[in-house]
Amino acid sequence: MAKASILVVDDESLMREYVQEALARAGHDVTVAPSGRDAIQLVQSKTFDIVVTDLKMQPVDGIEVLRAVRAQSPATACIIMTAYGTVETAVTALKEGAFDYIMKPFTPDELELAVSRALERERIAQENKYLRAELNKRYDFSAMVGASEAMQRVHEQIQKVADSRATILIRGESGTGKELVARAIHYSGSRRDRPFIKVNCAALSAGLLESELFGHEKGSFTGAHERKIGRFELADSGTLLLDEVSEIGIELQPKLLRALQEREFERVGGSSPIKVDTRIVCTTNLNLEDAVEKGQLREDLFFRLNVIPVVLPPLRDRKEDIPALMDCFLKRYVQENNRPITGFAPETIELFTEYEWPGNVRELQNVVERAVVLSSARVLGPEHFSFGPSRSNRMNGNAVSVRIGTTVGDMEKELIMRTLEKHNQNRTHAAEVLGISVRTLRNKLKEYQGR
């Protein structure tokens, strides 16, 4: 049975001590309250996994304790202890939101069974929350379409590692489909019915990222109004995707290393180790060896992340897959937008295969979607696409002029600002087009503000 934080409430000292001893022997952290009033004060200052409370107490009874717990921490399960003859009142407690009731006298085994059921309910509720969100997403693997030799190697690797517990590092340029490969690995293996949880490591500060990964206890920092279950714990027996893993700060890396090595961690503000069976999949579009050289990534963490590397080729290196990708995206967006488009002109296919695709599959996808939405033609010709056939047209036709004498720094700033403008100040999209991380882009903008 998993370890839990449990509050025991009973105004009879012998029963209180009996329940406390039984739960402590089972390995739980047990806090006791000799009255309903004391219990309400405790739940206002600390979050418990479970509250086990007597029903008949004076002047504050178990129903009032239950209501206070429900108001303060709805996720906390309440188990009512009741004597024979007050079952009707116990049923009333169930209607008020109690998880279960247990009849006095009871054995330690009966008590542990009730606690175990309550903990299982909490785990299932947390998993369902994420599974519902995942079910709302599309699990097509369009970015992996293609019969090229490079993509066949990727497909073979997915099948080989799908059931492995080893950490997997997916490397490739922005837009090559790293997240889709991570999902394919999860849903192709024995963990497919367990949670698939994603964390964008570049989108959060170090403090928030630590809390997001490992969770926190109530009151562990300003704003921590209740206990939070971290993504490592939510992904137990499933897969955790660390997107842009290179963006994890050096100060958090030792804790991540321990979680990978020992498969255990503590919540922020907690002291009890939590063991998990979470398979880690990481993605990066940067050279991690360079990050190690620069002191941005611990060498021991790099080796722990790079147990099974999966390298995705850029689209320019598998151009034979482009026609199949075009057809795949065309069918999707024609259906979504109810358009009468039937296909591409031969000149369009030639244009697509000549273009270098600096934004990789994501860029191709966006180009096709834009043409489908904006065009009323039945066959899409080159005139329906707003991009050029060479890398010089990366900015969709908007050339950046350069004057003799312009510094490299000024050129870089101009390129970054123009890219942000082109993408409506969306830093994530701009960083992907520029081939840099969101954190690097953010630091560049701070640098420009200081000039």
Residue 252 has pLDDT above 90, yes or no: yes
Residue 396 has pLDDT above 60, yes or no: no
Residue pointed to by tokens 């990964």: 213
Fold classification of 142-311 (topology level) = Rossmann fold (3.40.50)
Residue 121 has pLDDT above 90, yes or no: no
The reported pLDDT for the residue numbered 394 is: 40
Return d(Cα 30, Cα 359) in angstroms, integer. Answer: 55
Amino acid identity at 92: T
Domain 315-393 part of CATH 3.30.420.40: no
159 or 84, which is more confident? Answer: 159
Looking only at the bridges linking them, the beta strands covering 77-83 and 308-311 are unpaired
Residue pointed to by tokens 């934080």: 5
Domain at 408-449, CATH class: mainly alpha
User: What is the domain partition of the chain in residue ranges?
Assistant: 5-132, 142-311, 315-393, 408-449
**142-311 and 408-449, same CATH topology:** no
Closest CA to 146 of 358, 351, 360, 350: 360
State yes or no: cis peptide before 59, omega within 30 of 0: yes
Q: Report residue 85's pLDDT band, with 50, 70 and 90 as the boundaries.
A: low
- First and final C-alpha spacing in the chain: 59
Answer whether 301's CB lies under 8 Å from 288's CB.
no
Structure-block tokens of residue 415: 């390129």
Write out pLDDT tens, residues 132-188. Answer: 555 545 454 555 788 899 999 999 999 999 999 999 999 999 999 999 999 999 988
Mean pLDDT of the 10-28 span: 93
Residue 410 CB-half CA count within 13 A: 7
From edge to edge, which strands make up the β-sheet containing 168-171?
196-200, 239-243, 279-284, 168-171, 308-311
Return d(Cα 227, Cα 30) in angstroms, integer. Answer: 17
Output DSSP code: residue 197. E
Domain at 5-132, CATH class: alpha beta
The reported pLDDT for the residue numbered 138 is: 45
Average pLDDT, the chain: 86
Q: Report residue 93's pLDDT band, with 50, 70 and 90 as the boundaries.
A: confident
The reported pLDDT for the residue numbered 87 is: 62
Closest CA to 277 of 217, 343, 195, 211: 195
- Give φ, ψ of 259 to 5 degrees: -60, -35
CA distances from 303 to 61, 119, 211, 255, 299 (A): 57, 36, 24, 15, 6
Return d(Cα 17, Cα 448) in angstroms, integer. Answer: 65
Residues 6+ apart with CB under 8 A from 279: 164, 165, 166, 167, 168, 191, 235, 238, 239, 240
Q: Report residue 294's pLDDT band, with 50, 70 and 90 as the boundaries.
A: very high
Mean pLDDT of the 388-409 span: 49
Closest CA to 180 of 223, 145, 206, 209: 145
Helix ranges (DSSP H) in 251-359: 253-262, 288-293, 299-305, 322-337, 346-354
Residue pointed to by tokens 């519902």: 132
Write out pLDDT tens, residues 322-355. Answer: 999 999 999 999 999 999 999 999 999 999 998 9
